[in-house]
């Protein structure tokens, strides 16, 4: 919310998006919003339209119906201005002039960004900074043709964040990266989001994104079948008790408890924070419920996804 209490304008807005190739419908009635500072992970089985959606969001593909706005600007009818806010890697790995060095490629990218309507000059130090962030300093003056797949992938992310975008869109940014490279991308995405950037990324790595995405959109058969608020899911605690139904009834009466369920032998409650656990334990014990264990109820995104995709 803004200071006046009005909701902040979404950094990314997709409204009623449909995409067909001939008679083949690839995306149907997609609506989604991403707020500044939010990391939105898009996932779904192969061939369900993630890349097509990302191509539409970045202006590389045209929707059959619907519209997409980046920072309030329509990416198709006001494309140059909308893209001034955008950093993106859509083809993985991103395309570079392979006979030029990584540094030269970033310089070309910086020059093009500065020339675009609404574009800003990228200071020379920023090139060094992003190369260091992506751990490419050692490779900076080597021709891109000498880069490994993972190094090109990281150079792609370096060019996407170079101009400090307000919207960052990455299609499978961690495919082809080693575990340390994956961790590096996670840290960069998290830090961009902390600075207010809205991030959309597509991925198949559910257990990884569960640790740092705020929202997960599940796309199946071209439809967005679910939007999972990970923060809300992860605020739950579970109590292993002798009477889960009785414990749930006690927990439900506590003013700070928002949602209660049971999964024998557990009673599960959304407490609004760890600090409430002792109060909940005290009340359960006062009411004669025996508690054997209390712990965070980790949300298993993989299991949830499997069920959701199987049901769709």
Closest CB to ligand ATP among 47 and 296? 47
State the residues that interact with ligand ATP by CB under 6 A: 21, 24, 26, 44, 46-52
Q: In 3-state terms, what secondary structure has residue 39?
A: strand
Min CB(40)–ligand ATP separation in Å: 15
String of b and e for 78-111 (b: at least 16 CB within 10 Å)? bbebbbbbbbbbbebbbebeeeebbbbbbbebbe
List of residues 6+ apart from 301 with CB closer than 8 A: 206, 207, 209, 210, 216, 228, 230
Closest CB to ligand ATP among 26 and 268? 26
Closest CB to ligand ATP among 222 and 244? 222
Closest CB to ligand ATP among 12 and 71? 12
Any idea of the CA torsion for 165, 154, 41, 8, to the nearest 10 degrees?
A: -10
Structure tokens given for 288: 């004669």
Q: Which residue has the tokens 């990970």?
A: 230
Min CB(12)–ligand ATP separation in Å: 17
Min CB(137)–ligand ATP separation in Å: 31
Closest CB to ligand ATP among 49 and 181? 49
Closest CB to ligand ATP among 10 and 49? 49
The DSSP element (H or E) to which 223 belongs, if any, is strand 223-229
Q: In angstroms, what CA-CA distances link 59 with 78, 87, 117, 143, 194?
A: 10, 12, 15, 29, 25
Structure tokens given for 224: 């967005």
Q: Which residues pair with 181 in a beta bridge?
A: none
Min CB(232)–ligand ATP separation in Å: 26
Closest CB to ligand ATP among 90 and 248? 90
Min CB(73)–ligand ATP separation in Å: 24
Rg, the chain, Cα only: 23
Min CB(45)–ligand ATP separation in Å: 7
Alpha-carbon distance of 100 to 93, in angstroms, equals: 16
Min CB(134)–ligand ATP separation in Å: 23
> Beta-carbon neighbour count of residue 272 at 10 Å?
11
Looking only at the bridges linking them, the beta strands covering 39-43 and 215-220 are parallel
Closest CB to ligand ATP among 25 and 234? 25
Alpha-carbon distance of 203 to 191, in angstroms, equals: 19
Min CB(241)–ligand ATP separation in Å: 42
């Amino acid at each position: 919310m803004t200071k006046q209490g009005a909701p902040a304008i979404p950094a990314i807005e997709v409204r009623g998006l449909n995409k067909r190739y001939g008679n083949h419908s690839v995306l149907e009635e997609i609506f989604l919003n991403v707020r500044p500072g939010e990391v939105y992970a898009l996932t779904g089985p192969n061939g369900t339209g993630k890349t097509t959606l990302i191509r539409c969001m970045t202006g590389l593909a045209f929707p059959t119906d619907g519209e997409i706005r980046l920072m309030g600007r329509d990416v198709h009818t006001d494309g140059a201005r909308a893209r001034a806010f955008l950093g993106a890697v859509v083809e993985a790995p991103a395309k570079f002039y392979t006979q030029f060095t990584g540094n030269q490629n970033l310089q070309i990218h910086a020059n093009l960004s500065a020339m675009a309507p609404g574009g800003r000059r990228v200071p020379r130090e920023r090139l060094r900074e992003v190369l260091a962030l992506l751990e490419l300093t050692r490779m900076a003056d080597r021709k891109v043709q000498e880069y490994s797949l993972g190094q090109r992938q990281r150079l792609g992310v370096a060019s996407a964040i170079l101009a400090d975008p307000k919207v960052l869109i990455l299609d499978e940014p961690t495919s082809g990266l080693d575990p340390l490279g994956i961790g590096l991308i996670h840290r960069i995405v998290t830090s961009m989001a902390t600075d207010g950037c809205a991030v959309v990324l597509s991925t198949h790595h559910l257990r990884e994104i569960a640790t740092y995405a705020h929202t997960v959109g599940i796309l199946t058969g071209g439809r967005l079948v679910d939007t999972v608020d990970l923060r809300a899911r992860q605020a739950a605690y579970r109590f292993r008790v002798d009477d889960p139904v009785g414990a749930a009834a006690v927990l439900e009466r506590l003013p700070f408890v928002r949602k209660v369920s049971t999964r024998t032998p557990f009673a599960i409650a959304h407490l609004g924070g760890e600090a409430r656990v002792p109060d909940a334990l005290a009340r359960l014990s006062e009411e004669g419920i025996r508690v054997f264990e209390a712990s965070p109820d980790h949300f298993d995104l993989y299991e949830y996804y499997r069920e959701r995709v199987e049901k769709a």
